[in-house]
Amino acid sequence: MIVFENVTKEFPNGTVALLEVSFHIEPGEFVFIIGPSGAGKTTLLRLLLRELKPTSGTVQVDKRDLSEIKKRELPILRRQIGAVFQDYKLIDDRTVAENVALVSEIIKQNEEEIDEHVKEILSQVGLEDKADLFPSQLSGGELQRTTIARALAAHPKIIFADEPTGNLDAATSWEIINLLLMINKADTTVIVATHNQDIMQSLDKRVIELEKGRVVRDTKKPRQKKPKAETEKEKTKPAKQKDEKKKK
């Protein structure tokens, strides 16, 4: 569903944010992207949203090469990817319900449908009682739930949460991660960029680790231990060579 193939992103000032990054993410996966600040996590998201284009390599979503997507098709791509930001990016003078409804307005539902849809999503994220409050009246966890609700409003195939727990205490962070896990169970692909080691280590999920723009770890099969895989590879290698010799 998501393919990064040898993606390098160099900014005009010469900063190389990503270097030869390759990975595939299948539909329905839950993946952590970890790495210290500056490792390239946000750049990945911006490439996925086609806010940026790679300097080299390809980014594909659903087999579409994003560098070939036309400007008028961008809203369609962006509706497939619900982005959740650490700093929420909510509209301050709109209520919780209105923030979420904006997306439904964009996808041209009528008023009644929008009301129904917003109610349903707010109850999904546990905010049914907060619909009429403004962002300034919400706690950090509620603000993050609102951004998740807004991301869900367009029924995206993918949720990409960029440091969703960055501003939250431990208990609230877990509430948000549990909500993302629940969304994943309902078949949405969820990608969480984080430097929250505690949460990542407590869950047996795939981890793609970035360091200075390079992938330094990818635990594609969660339960597979890396050393074992390497030994198996070594075991099969000589046998293969023997076979090849036989053929000759």
Which residues sit at the interface with ligand ADP, rule CB under 6 A? 11, 13, 15, 17, 35, 37-43
Q: How far is the CB of 162 from ligand ADP (least distance, A)?
A: 7
The DSSP letter of residue 94 is S
Q: How far is the CB of 143 from ligand ADP (least distance, A)?
A: 20
Q: How far is the CB of 35 from ligand ADP (least distance, A)?
A: 6
Q: How far is the CB of 46 from ligand ADP (least distance, A)?
A: 7
Q: Is the CB of 115 or the CB of 209 nearer to ligand ADP?
A: 209
For 81-169, where are the alpha helices, taking DSSP H only? 96-106, 111-124, 140-152
Q: Is the CB of 28 or the CB of 166 nearer to ligand ADP?
A: 166
Q: How far is the CB of 29 from ligand ADP (least distance, A)?
A: 20
For 33-135, where are the alpha helices, taking DSSP H only? 41-48, 74-80, 96-106, 111-124
Tokens describing residue 208 = 């793609």
- Which residues in 176-195 are b (16+ Cβ under 10 Å) and which e? bbebbeebbeeebbbbbbbe
The DSSP letter of residue 67 is G
* Of residues 191, 144, 183, the one with CA closest to residue 48: 191
What lies within 8 Å, CB to CB, of 132 at 6+ separation is: 95, 96, 97
Q: How far is the CB of 15 from ligand ADP (least distance, A)?
A: 4
- Which residues in 124-155 are b (16+ Cβ under 10 Å) and which e? bbebeebbeebbeebebbbbbbbbbbbbbbbe
